[in-house]
C-alpha cells in the first residue's frame, strides 16, 4: 500500500472559486506528479517536480499551478475554477531508480465545478 | 507519434474464467512497460513492470508478456475473481528524457460477474 494521500477526495464548487488540492507522501520520494483523468480516457500529465523548488508543466496544458516547498508536499491550485476543470486529479510520486522507477498513485480527487 | 493502444475497450467474464488483455505501442525509444490496475474511484496500482530484456513477468494470478520486436504486450488473468473488476492500464516509458516520460493507454474495463 502506497503512503500517498490526497484531500479532499471529492469536491463540488461554484465557478470562479479558488481551490487547492492537497497531495502528500511519506515515502521520501523526490519526484512527484499531477495527472488529470476523464472517465474512460488516459491519464494526462499536467505538472511534475524533480524535488524541492523544482516544478515543470506536463504534456497537457493546464490553468493550474503547483508548488514544492517540502519534499513530501505537492499541492495543486486553481485560481478561478471553471466547469471545464471538472475531472479526476491524481497525484503520484516515485523514487529515482534509473529506468524502472515505479509511480505510486494517491486515491485521487474528483472535482466538479458547477 | 508515440501511442499506446489497448484492446478490448471493455470485457465481461464470469468468475473463475481466464482472460487476456492486449496492449500495442509505438513508443520509441523503449525503456519499460507497466501494467496498472485501477479500481473505480481509486488511483492506479502497479501490477508488473518489464524492461526490454524481459518477456514475461508474473504477480500472483496476473501474468504479463512482452514482445519488444512486435511492440506488443498482454496481461493474462487466471481464475478471475470478483475483485478483479477494474480498469487495467498499459503504460510505456521511453528513455529519451531524464523524466522517463510515461505514455498511458486508455485502459480495458474488466467486469467479473458471479
Tell me if B43 and A43 make a contact (CB, 8 A cut-off): no
Grid cell digits, residue A90: 491524481
Q: Tell me if the bond preceding A8 is cis, omega within 30° of 0.
A: yes
Please state, in angstroms and rounded to a whole number, the distance separating the CA atoms of residues A57 and A65. Answer: 9
Question: Which residues of A touch chain B, with CB atoms under 8 Å apart?
Answer: 2, 4, 31, 40-45, 48, 50, 90-92, 99-108, 110
List B10's β-bridge partners, or say none: B109
Q: What average pLDDT is seen over chain B? A: 92
Cβ-Cβ pairs closer than 8 A, A with B, add up to: 51
Pull the grid cell for residue B88: 487495467
Distant-in-sequence, close-in-space partners of A94: CB < 8 Å, separation ≥ 6 = A29, A31, A33, A101, A102, A103, A104
List Cβ neighbours of B53 (8 Å cut-off, separation of 6 or more): none
> Tens digit of pLDDT for each residue in A54-100?
999 988 878 899 999 999 999 999 999 999 999 999 999 988 766 56
pLDDT in tens, B50-60: 988 889 999 99
pLDDT one-digit tens code per residue, B27-70 = 988 888 999 999 988 899 999 999 888 899 999 999 999 999 99
What cell does B106 get?
486508455
To the nearest whole angstrom, how far is the Cα of B26 from the nearest Cα of chain A? Answer: 16
CA distance A72 to A58: 20
Could you give the count of Cα atoms lying within 13 Å of B78 in the half-sphere of its Cβ?
A: 7
Flag whether pLDDT at A1 surpasses 60.
no
Amino acid at each position: 500500500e502506497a503512503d500517498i494521500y490526497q484531500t479532499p477526495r471529492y469536491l463540488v464548487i461554484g465557478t470562479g472559486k479558488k481551490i487547492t488540492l492537497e497531495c502528500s507522501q511519506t515515502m521520501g520520494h523526490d519526484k512527484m506528479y499531477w495527472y488529470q483523468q476523464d472517465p474512460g480516457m488516459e491519464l494526462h500529465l499536467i505538472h511534475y517536480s524533480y524535488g524541492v523548488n523544482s516544478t515543470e508543466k506536463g504534456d497537457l496544458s493546464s490553468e493550474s499551478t503547483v508548488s514544492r516547498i517540502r519534499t513530501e508536499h505537492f499541492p495543486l491550485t486553481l485560481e478561478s475554477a471553471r466547469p471545464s476543470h471538472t475531472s479526476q486529479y491524481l497525484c503520484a510520486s516515485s523514487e529515482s531508480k534509473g529506468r524502472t522507477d515505479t509511480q505510486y498513485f494517491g486515491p485521487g480527487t474528483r472535482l466538479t465545478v458547477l | 507519434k508515440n501511442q499506446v493502444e489497448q484492446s478490448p475497450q471493455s470485457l465481461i467474464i464470469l468468475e473463475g474464467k481466464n482472460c487476456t488483455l492486449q496492449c500495442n505501442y509505438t513508443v520509441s525509444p523503449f525503456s519499460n512497460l507497466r501494467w496498472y490496475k485501477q479500481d473505480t474511484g481509486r488511483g492506479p496500482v502497479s501490477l508488473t513492470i518489464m524492461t526490454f530484456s524481459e518477456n514475461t513477468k508474473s504477480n500472483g494470478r496476473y501474468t504479463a508478456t512482452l514482445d519488444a520486436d512486435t511492440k506488443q504486450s498482454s496481461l493474462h488473468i487466471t481464475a478471475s475473481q470478483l475483485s478483479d473488476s477494474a480498469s487495467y492500464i498499459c503504460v510505456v516509458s521511453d528513455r529519451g528524457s531524464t523524466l522517463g516520460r510515461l505514455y498511458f493507454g486508455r485502459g480495458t474495463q474488466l467486469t467479473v460477474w458471479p
